[in-house]
Structure 1
Amino acid sequence: MKNYILCFCLILSVSGIAQNTDSVSEFAESLDRELPKRLAEKNVPGMAIAVMHKGKIIYKRGIGLANVSIRERVTPETGFNIGSISKLFTAWGVMKLVQQGKIVLDAPVENYLSRWKLPAGKFDSKKVTVASLLSHTGGISVHGYPGFPPEMELPSLEESLNGVNGPVRANEKVEIILEPQTKLKYSGGGYTILQLMIEEVSGMPFSTYMKREVFRPLKMRNTSFVLSKGILKKSSLPYDEKGEEIYLERFTAQAAAGLHTNLEDLLTFVKANFHGSEVLSRKVIDKMREPLPITKGFYGLGYLHYSFGGIDLHGHTGSNTGWESALLLDFKTSSGIIMLSNGSEGEDVLKGTLRQWVKWRSALKTEKTK
């Protein structure tokens, strides 16, 4: 995971929009024109994208290449690593345990840990609650994690928490570095603690728990924290800033950055967000996406909050080497956008596409008020 949140906090000007609002078909045609050009400009081989509007999928495409060397096209079934969007799914896994009465949100996370404890220091570890880790207000270190090449042996979860994370992040252990529950401090390390907590409470490996309790009930059949042969067979390949193929990273810190999925499964997840499911009720989801005051309106329990052009969006973005992604939902209108790309320069592609979508949405609102 790159050492920052993929930041869509940009000013989206809606001035100069044509008075005659584009129809859905015209909007789709504009995306068909613009997206290939954006991908080519940034050396990003391909992307998968879906746009929802008032509960309906109005645009769903695979664009460009999943594998450049064999000219394999991206489709809605093509797999992508989704970086920090993994945290959103981890939050669902935690909240499932909360619904079952196995975890209390406001309890110290150490109540559920035996294999590892937060290092002793000047801050009170009892203030590091489950909710504070979900909302990045626990004061925890390690913003993001590097991935490991396929030939390297992954450190154990406990080793990772103790700072064994390879040459890029060597000796950066997970610890309390700020007074807990005083401010937002984005921390992949906090989600690694949650990964361990899920294992201890459920008695299962994290990836197994997530498959059984979240992905399988939602019928997300091509989503996994484990890069199995089946997942790899359907996956696109990652590419660097020059558009050159690179290796697909592996992660011990799966909860923070390691999820692999495709567009079709994410559309299933979006439906579960809007309507609730056997995994989480809509009431619980609404609670999760509500930003905590301490985060200044930016983060809830696993959900990022963005406001663009008068539209409130909840979801998450993701950024790993060779991958850029976003899943942003407007719960008020059951609308949203999912974008998955397999290039390190995909951020600008996604930003440009987000601008285009928000301008179209804003034009619809302007036309309606006339």
Structure 2
Amino acid sequence: MKLPPLLLVLMLSAGVVPGAYAQVSAANSAASAAAVENGLRPAFDIAGEMPARWTIEERMEHWRVPGVSIAVIRGGKLLWAKGYGVLQRGRPEKVDADTMFSVGSVSKVAAAGIALRMVDAGILDLDRDVNAYLRRWKVPANDLVAQSPVTLRGLMSHSAGLTVHGFPDFQPGAALPTVFDTLDGRPPAVTAPVRVTYAPGSHWRYSGGGITVEQLLIEDVSGIAFNAAARRYLFEPLGMRRSSYEATIGDKWGNIAKAHGPDGAARALPRGYESMPEIAASGLWTTPSDYARYVIAMIRSYNDREGGFLANATAQQMMTEVGVSPYGLGPQLGGHGVDRIFSHGGSNDSYKAWMEGHLATGDGVVIFTNGENGDGLLKEIRRAVAAAEGWRMGGSITIPAATPSPDMLRAYVGHYRVASPSTIASQRSLAFSLDVKDIEIAMREDRLGVTYRDSEGNKLEDTLISEGGSWFVEADDGVEQVEFVRGYDGKVSGLVIHNDDYSMDAQLIR
């Protein structure tokens, strides 16, 4: 693409990389980047009040995140990619479009692409018992797998009945577990054994342990290490030259975003980053530009009857929920029609990441950060991208200025027990990503706070913002809504959690 010399100089001096995969207007790229940089916003605006808008630098300082990198996709093409901030607090090296980040569970969606390329090649079958492929370790036999075997389709959609939600990172100098240590829960692994605890296909539960089985399966069938398989089936075909599945990324790569804690201080010193030995589940290092190539390839494969990176039929299956799971073969799925998206977040100890693609429009965004507080920042950036690109969903919502009285709010305080899910919709509900059983509503100053707890004691907390009447929206993302239910006697009896696709209910027990 031939750019006017002055505009090209301005864009390059600002660190904006124009669309590299097809013709994209440089002016559109620069305008979109500027709108995002100056348009970060909360999940909700209050009617009649001046909406809060921030610059990316202001919010990086607020969240104590030293570095962030963004790639925006429009119509199946990279619109722009740009880095902000520094690789490491206290050092001058800048984040740019080629900076590599640890991307946490965003690794899982890329790992799915490797497996599906092997499916297309006739090397793997989505519905065959994985023990038929595994050579060096087997999924332990029990009555549950006798009913229904663990399959690759089940592993990628988190519906194979396997345990272990996620994995902690390892500090420099720490002994790293092998894949077999992780699967059997023995030191130096620090998580429980990966085992089947419900009949595959009968329920869903997010399982990094299942993706680790997928990792071993790919290695056993290909006969090569997982990172080599990634190069063969993913990185080289898509030109992802700044991507690697290495438990400990080497200095040979250079330009690596370093780790930072919640206070914004550098951690994992002196090296400056942790190790993620469960590489398929959480060990990918890449750039937003590289990952955008993969997002674009999936969109094109899904829409092109002739296929592309994936066969069209395979891509269609990838983007279809499996049974009771809200996941397809790798990504989480949501929305309908022109708003249909695939997405995934990533959360290692010091890095937070987000990716999403819009199947009908070819739009998307990839955001990587190098701070433990990066979740808050990337949500604000994602909303700014949605507004700048005119997406119908994902921007700030507007809520009424009036709020319920303290007495009204106190009526909703209590402990709620989630009803046993009996339908596909209730089992897919987003809140079941932690297998939520209990919900606590409490007063936090002049607002309601909500705490979700699962059967293992994990919890998620948020603040509820009134939308009027008995309806509230979660402040963190402005997506999930909580509706309190009053019975025939006027007393609060339960609540319903709604999101764009599913809902679930809980009864007040005290």
Identify the TM-score tier after normalising by the shorter chain. Answer: 0.7 to 0.9
Select 1:66's aligned residue among 87, 110, 120.
87
Give 1 or 2: higher helix fraction: 1
Match of 1:284 in 2: 314
Select 1:140's aligned residue among 159, 162, 167.
162
Matching of residues 121-270 of structure 1 within 5 Å: 121-124=142-145, 126-164=148-186, 166=188, 168-169=190-191, 172-226=192-246, 227-231=249-253, 233-247=254-268, 248-270=273-295
Match of 1:19 in 2: none
Residues 20-58 of structure 1 show CA distances to partners (whole Å, capped at 9, x for unaligned) of: xxx976653332222111111110001001222223444
Aligned-partner Cα distance in 2 for 1:309–1:334: 13
Structure 1 residue 51 corresponds to structure 2 residue 72: yes
Where do 5+ consecutive residues of structure 2 fail to align?
1-27, 39-54, 302-306, 394-510
Q: Is the 8 A contact 2:67 2:369 kept in 1?
A: yes
1:304 CA displacement: 1.0
Aligned-partner Cα distance in 2 for 1:279–1:336: 18
Q: Is the 8 A contact 2:156 2:330 kept in 1?
A: yes
Match of 1:30 in 2: 35
Select 1:327's aligned residue among 355, 359, 364.
355
1:198 CA displacement: 0.6
Q: Is the 8 A contact 2:128 2:151 kept in 1?
A: yes
Letter in 1 for 2:233: E
Aligned-partner Cα distance in 2 for 1:266–1:343: 19
Query: CA, structure 1 residues 195+167, in 2 after alignment: closer, same or farther (shift >3 Å)?
Result: closer
Query: CA, structure 1 residues 278+234, in 2 after alignment: closer, same or farther (shift >3 Å)?
Result: farther
| Alignment: residue pair count | 338
Moved more, 125-134 or 277-286: 277-286
The residue matched to 1:47 in structure 2 has which SS?
A: strand
Moved more, 304-313 or 192-201: 304-313
Residues 299-350 of structure 1 show CA distances to partners (whole Å, capped at 9, x for unaligned) of: 1000111339973221321110110111101121110111010001010111
Q: Is the 8 A contact 2:320 2:328 kept in 1?
A: yes
Query: CA, structure 1 residues 216+250, in 2 after alignment: closer, same or farther (shift >3 Å)?
Result: same
Aligned-partner Cα distance in 1 for 2:30–2:175: 49
Letter in 1 for 2:318: M
Match of 1:17 in 2: none
Query: CA, structure 1 residues 254+358, in 2 after alignment: closer, same or farther (shift >3 Å)?
Result: same
Aligned-partner Cα distance in 1 for 2:299–2:337: 21
For the aligned residue pairs, the C-alpha RMSD in angstroms reads 2.3
Aligned-partner Cα distance in 1 for 2:385–2:340: 13
Match of 2:365 in 1: 337
Select 2:375's aligned residue among 330, 343, 347.
347
Structure 1 residue 78 corresponds to structure 2 residue 106: no
1:282 CA displacement: 4.1
Where do 5+ consecutive residues of structure 1 fail to align?
1-22, 366-370
- Sequence identity, in percent? 30
Aligned-partner Cα distance in 2 for 1:363–1:260: 28
The residue matched to 2:262 in structure 1 has which SS?
A: coil
Q: Whose radius of gyration is greater, 1 or 2?
A: 2
Residues 174-193 of structure 1 show CA distances to partners (whole Å, capped at 9, x for unaligned) of: 00112210122000000000
1:220 CA displacement: 0.8
Query: CA, structure 1 residues 46+117, in 2 after alignment: closer, same or farther (shift >3 Å)?
Result: same
Structure 1 residue 274 corresponds to structure 2 residue 296: no
Query: CA, structure 1 residues 63+89, in 2 after alignment: closer, same or farther (shift >3 Å)?
Result: same
1:214 CA displacement: 1.4
Select 1:313's aligned residue among 328, 341, 344.
341
Match of 1:303 in 2: 331
Residues 78-126 of structure 1 show CA distances to partners (whole Å, capped at 9, x for unaligned) of: 0100110111111111111111112111111111112111223341255
Aligned-partner Cα distance in 2 for 1:195–1:254: 8
Q: Is the 8 A contact 2:85 2:94 kept in 1?
A: yes
Q: Is the 8 A contact 2:355 2:366 kept in 1?
A: yes
Letter in 2 for 1:212: R
Letter in 1 for 2:33: A
1:243 CA displacement: 0.3
Q: Is the 8 A contact 1:273 1:282 kept in 2?
A: no
Q: Is the 8 A contact 1:329 1:335 kept in 2?
A: yes
Aligned-partner Cα distance in 2 for 1:85–1:165: 26
Match of 2:500 in 1: none
Give 1 or 2: higher strand fraction: 2
Query: CA, structure 1 residues 363+24, in 2 after alignment: closer, same or farther (shift >3 Å)?
Result: farther
TM-score of the two chains, using structure 2 as the length reference: 0.62
1:238 CA displacement: 1.1
